[in-house]
Structure 1
C-alpha cells in the first residue's frame, strides 16, 4: 500500500507564516522568489516525516513568534504534528484509529534514503555504491567478483612482469642438450694408452725374438734346438699381432678431452637459454589464459548487470563507484544526478511515497516531464521548489512566507 500526503499545514515555521498544501497530483510545484518560504515548506515536511535535524534547521520558529508547528495528514488516515517551542521539538503521531506512534514507526515506513531528493547525490562514492547494491538484485556478489578479478589481474601482472624480465633469449639449436662426460673420455683415453702400450710391448718382443734368432744363427751349430723354440715363439707372436684390434686415434681422444669442458660450457649455456625460452613461452601462454579469464569475469559481470533491474536505465557501477551513462555519477549533469537520486528513493519501494526537491531549477522542461512520469509510474508524490519572480499557473506560489 502506498501512502502520500493529503494535507500539510505550516504555522510560523522558519520563513513561513502560514501555508496549507493540499496536493492534487504527483508533482507538487512550490514556486516563488528566493526566501519566500518554499525551502521552509520542504524543510517542514522532511522534519515531520524523517525527524528534526538540528544541523539543517537552526532556527525553526519564525522570528517574533514563540512556537511553530507542521501538521501533516496522510492518505492512510494518519496525522503527524511536529511542534517547536524554545525548549525543543516534539512529534505526535496518530493513526486512523487514534493510536499513537512515533519516529521509529515512521522510519520503518519511509525510504532508507529518506525523502530528500538530493540525498543520494550528497553521499560519498562508497556509500552510493552500497545504497545501490542494497536495492539491486544481482546474480553475483560484487565484492567477491571484484576480489576474484583483482586476484587474476595481479597474477597476470606478475606473469607479465616475469616474462618481460627474461628479455630476448638466444640459443643454438645445433648444439646437443647432453653434455660430454669428461670422466668417460678419460676412461677411454686410459684404455687406449694401455692398449697402445700392449702393442708396443708385443712389437718389442718381436724385435727381441729376431735379435735372438740372429744370435742363434751365429751359433747355429750349437743352438738348433733353442732356435726351434724361438721360431715357435715367433710364429705365435705373429699370430697374436695379426689379431690385434685396430689402433684408436689417441691424439683425437686427447683433443676431445681438451675441448670437452669448453664444449660442455657452451652446452650448459645453451641449455639454460632453452629453458628460459620454454619458461618465457609458458609465461606468455599463462598470460593469455589469465587475460581470457579476466575477460570471462568482466563478461559475467556485464551479463549480470544487463540482466539486473536498475532503478533507472543507464545506471550501473564498477569497483570504484556508481556510473551513469558510462561515466562516474559525480560527473553527470545536475539534472541527471537529481533524476537518478529520485529514482533511487523510488526503487526502495517505501510505504510513504514522498520526495522533496529543493533545487528544481536544475531541471529543464524535459527533465520536469521525465520526473512527472517517474512519479506517476511509481505512485510517488514530489514536492519540488522552483525559483520564479512572478506567479504563473503554479498551484502554490509563495510570497513573503505565505501562499499568494
Structure 2
C-alpha cells in the first residue's frame, strides 16, 4: 500500500513563477566525465551506471553550473590529463550558461534569450533558496530545518512568540505549584471561633468582684465593731446614754450601707476561664492560621488550574494552526525541537522518507529554475521512484537522479567510464 504523499499550495506556490527547466546539458572533461550530453524528455531523469562511471560527476556539474562552484565539494573539477572543463546548459526560456574551468580558476558566462549577460547572483535569484541538491534539507541541522520549514509555511501564528508565551506560563505555573507545596496541608477546626478571648476583660471582671468583696468585708467589720460598742454602752448605759444614742445611729447607718451593697459575683468561673484562656486562644490562633493556609492553598490551586487552562489554550491554538497550515507534504509538522515527519523527528524517518520530504521542501519554495539533483537514488524503491516522479510532474520540476546499476537495461542515460553509452 502506498504511503500518502500529498502536496499543498503554500504562500510561495500561490504566486506561480515562470517555470524554467534544462533543455540540454553538455559536460566535457569535468571530473570523471569525458563527454556527456543530456536532453531531458521527462520529469525524472535517471543517470544510471556502476560506481565511478560519471553519474555523480554529472550531477556535480549541473549543481556547479547553476549554484556556483563549491571548492569544498569539488576539489579537482578538471578530468586528469586535460587542460580545461566545461558545463554548457541551455534552459527552456532561451537562456544559456557555461561554467568553465581552467587551472587558474572558474568562470561563468550567462546570456538570456535577448543576449543580455547575467551572473551568479541572477541565477541565485532564480533557483530555490535550498539550492538544487535533493539532500540539502536532510543535511541541515534541526534548527535550520525548522527555520527553512517556517519560511515556507504560512501559519496563523508566530511559533517563537507562542513558544515564549507557553514557557512564561509554565514558569509561572511551576512557581505557583512550588508555593502550594511549601504551604503544606492544614486541618481547620470549624467548631472554634475566629476571635480570641481577651484575658484583660476577664482580669477586669475579677478585679471588680474582688473590690466588691473587700467593700462587703469592710462593711461587715464595721457592723461587728458597732455591735461590740452597743454591748459596751449597754453595760454602761447609765453613764453612756448619749454615747449609746450616737452609736445607735451609727448602727443604723452601717446597717443601711450594708444592705445597700449588691452581692459579690462568684469569681470561681472567671478564675477557671482565666486559667484556660491562653490555651483556648492558642487553639484559636492556630486554627485561624490553618484557615488562612487553606484559603491560600485554594487560591494557588485555582491559579495553577487557570495557568494550566491557558497552556492548554495555547497548545490548542498551535494544534489548530498546524491543522490549517498547508505543509509542503502531508505528515510534515514541527515542535519546539525541530521538524517532525509522521509524528517522529525527521532525523528518524526512513532514508526514502527523508529524501522525498527534502525534495518536497525544494519544490515548495517555488523557484523559477526547477531542477533537483539526487546522488543517492538507490535509497528509493520502485514506489518511492513513482512518488518522486508524481511530485516532479505536479510541480514542473526536473529531478536528475543517480542509480547504481550493473547493466544498461532500459535507462536512457547509462554511464560507463565517464561517457554515455
**SS of the counterpart of 2:75?**
coil
Q: 2:69 maps to which residue?
A: 52
**SS of the counterpart of 1:52?**
coil
Q: Distance in 1 between matches of 2:388 and 2:244?
A: 137
Q: Work out which of the residue numbers 123, 140, 159 in structure 2 matches 1:142.
A: 159
Q: Distance in 2 between matches of 1:291 and 1:182?
A: 48
Q: Work out which of the residue numbers 211, 215, 219 in structure 1 matches 2:228.
A: 211
Q: 1:389 maps to which residue?
A: 406
Does 1:184 find its partner at 2:198? no
Q: Structure 1's 75 and 242: CA in aligned 2 closer, same or farther, altered over 3 A?
A: farther
Q: Work out which of the residue numbers 43, 46, 51 in structure 2 matches 1:26.
A: 43
Q: Structure 1's 253 and 67: CA in aligned 2 closer, same or farther, altered over 3 A?
A: same
Q: CA deviation at 1:193?
A: 2.0
Point out the more displaced range, 159-168 or 42-51.
159-168
Q: CA deviation at 1:106?
A: 0.7
Show structure 1 runs of 4+ deviating over 6 A: none
Q: Structure 1's 239 and 371: CA in aligned 2 closer, same or farther, altered over 3 A?
A: farther
Q: Distance in 2 between matches of 1:347 and 1:245?
A: 105
Q: Structure 1's 313 and 232: CA in aligned 2 closer, same or farther, altered over 3 A?
A: farther
Q: CA RMSD in A?
A: 1.8
Does 1:43 find its partner at 2:57? no
Q: Distance in 2 between matches of 1:22 and 1:140?
A: 45
**SS of the counterpart of 1:257?**
helix
Using the size of structure 1 for normalisation, the TM-score is 0.95
Does 1:118 find its partner at 2:135? yes
The Cα offsets for residues 21-48 of structure 1, whole Å up to 9 and x where unpaired, read as 1111111111111111111111101111
Q: Work out which of the residue numbers 181, 194, 198 in structure 1 matches 2:211.
A: 194
Q: Work out which of the residue numbers 254, 259, 267 in structure 1 matches 2:276.
A: 259
**SS of the counterpart of 1:143?**
helix
Q: CA deviation at 1:357?
A: 0.8
Q: 1:380 maps to which residue?
A: 397
Q: 1:398 maps to which residue?
A: 415
In the alignment, structure 1 segments of 5+ residues that lack a partner are: none
Q: CA deviation at 1:340?
A: 1.0
Q: Distance in 2 between matches of 1:139 and 1:240?
A: 97
* Equivalent residue runs for 1:304-343 within 5 Å: 304-343=321-360
Q: Distance in 2 between matches of 1:313 and 1:231?
A: 123
Point out the more displaced range, 181-190 or 237-246.
237-246
**SS of the counterpart of 2:144?**
helix
* Equivalent residue runs for 1:170-181 within 5 Å: 170-181=187-198
Q: 1:90 maps to which residue?
A: 107
Q: Distance in 2 between matches of 1:222 and 1:346?
A: 145
Q: CA deviation at 1:231?
A: 4.5
Q: Structure 1's 331 and 229: CA in aligned 2 closer, same or farther, altered over 3 A?
A: farther
Using the size of structure 2 for normalisation, the TM-score is 0.91
Q: Structure 1's 134 and 228: CA in aligned 2 closer, same or farther, altered over 3 A?
A: farther
Q: Distance in 2 between matches of 1:224 and 1:207?
A: 20
Q: Structure 1's 332 and 245: CA in aligned 2 closer, same or farther, altered over 3 A?
A: farther
Q: 2:179 maps to which residue?
A: 162
